[in-house]
Amino acid sequence: MPNYKIFNDNKKPMYSQITDGTDNLILTDGSAVNIDLPHNEIHDGNSYVANHLFPNVGNNSYADLHIIVGSTKAPHIQMFVVGDGKSYISLHRGATYSNVGTSLTAYNRNGESSNTTQSQLYYSPTVSNSGTMLYQTLLPGGTGSRAVGAQTGDRSETIFKYSMDYLLRVQNVSAGASDIAIEINFYEL
């Protein structure tokens, strides 16, 4: 069959792979289990998670996450934001900084893997220019004394460009202080 291969490894069960990269079909003890590519990347040790809690972000202030993409592996990213007040979320490319921020560790989602990400992550950079806005959305949550918690995220991936700088911004507009958490899940190919 074209676009279909079968693999065997002493450390893994026999499995077949559709070679267009969309799915892996794993065969174990005669039963078939199908996992999607992002799940497979966890098994292969190429998937990472990073998050940061920004406590007590002032009204009209930002919770910023700065991402610098490596030169040979593009991250496929899902972004999630949680806040206890209304916020605006935006994604920018090509921002400039007077301070890159504090280093943030991305953890491999496969505890048995020693792989590390090529991407560099920082929180709370000093932004000189936010660059080109690629995406903007609302995190609803009320304002002032009616502020309530909310979360937003997207199951769809965004593939970041090689050797490029990205800024994920969350602006608190709740008319009071707000706790904001940002999490990114990604795998690199």
**Is the overall model pTM greater than 0.85, yes or no?**
no
Tell me the domains of the chain and their CATH numbers. 4-43 (no CATH), 49-188 (2.60.120.1090)
* Span 143-173, pLDDT tens digits: 555 555 555 656 678 889 999 999 999 999 9
pLDDT digits (tens, 9 = 90+) for 113-146: 999 999 999 999 999 999 999 999 988 876 555 5
| Alpha-carbon gap, residue 52 to 102, rounded angstroms | 11
Sheet bearing 165-172, strands edge to edge: 102-104, 120-123, 62-68, 165-172, 87-93, 132-139
